Amino acid sequence: MVTCFVLFAQPFVQADGPGTLPHGFDAGWKGQKTCTVLYETTSVRVGQCSFAPGIGHEKHYHNPHFGFVLEGSTMRIKDQTGEHEVVTETGTTWSTDSITVHEAINSGSTTARYLIVEPRPEPAPQ
């Protein structure tokens, strides 16, 4: 059910983003990490994010990426289009081809876990 991830694919149209918001792998919830980089090369990195019920992900951005749902739940997602409840199903995927910005909280009763694969970001100009 890929359509449940349309909200993740909203194009970046806000002033927030790289430089003003944390990247999704760096963003957390109330000072606690929610994502871990599992693999990284000079061209790609893979992260795993985990959200127990009631745990969220502060406002952050993602570069274009591919995602895979390891464990589904219900997420309340807030992005530039508003706030939405999205049921994520184990084994589904999504992808984006632009920078996206959102925040989320697990409003379900089970832990949500995702793998996210993306190109490694370019180093910031010095």
- Higher-pLDDT residue of 36 and 10 is 36
The identity of residue 79, as a single letter, is D
What is the reported pTM? 0.78
Per-residue pLDDT band for 20 (boundaries 50, 70, 90) equals confident
Given 3-state DSSP classes, what are the helix, strand and coil percentages for the chain, each rounded to the nearest 5?
5, 50, 45
- Phi and psi, residue 59, nearest 5°: -55, 130
Per-residue pLDDT band for 45 (boundaries 50, 70, 90) equals very high
Per-residue pLDDT band for 9 (boundaries 50, 70, 90) equals very low
Contact 33, 60 (CB under 8 A): no
Q: Which of 18-32, 53-67, 69-83 has the lowest mean pLDDT?
A: 18-32
- At CA 20, angle to CA 96 and CA 61, rounded to 5? 20
Return the residue matching tokens 């632009």: 98
d(CA 20, CA 102): 13
Burial class (CB in 10 A: 0-12, 13-18, 19+), 83: exposed
Residue 12, C-beta contacts closer than 8 angstroms, at least 6 positions apart: 61, 98, 99, 100, 101
Q: What is the pLDDT of residues 82-116, one digit of tens each?
A: 999 999 999 999 999 989 899 999 999 999 999 99
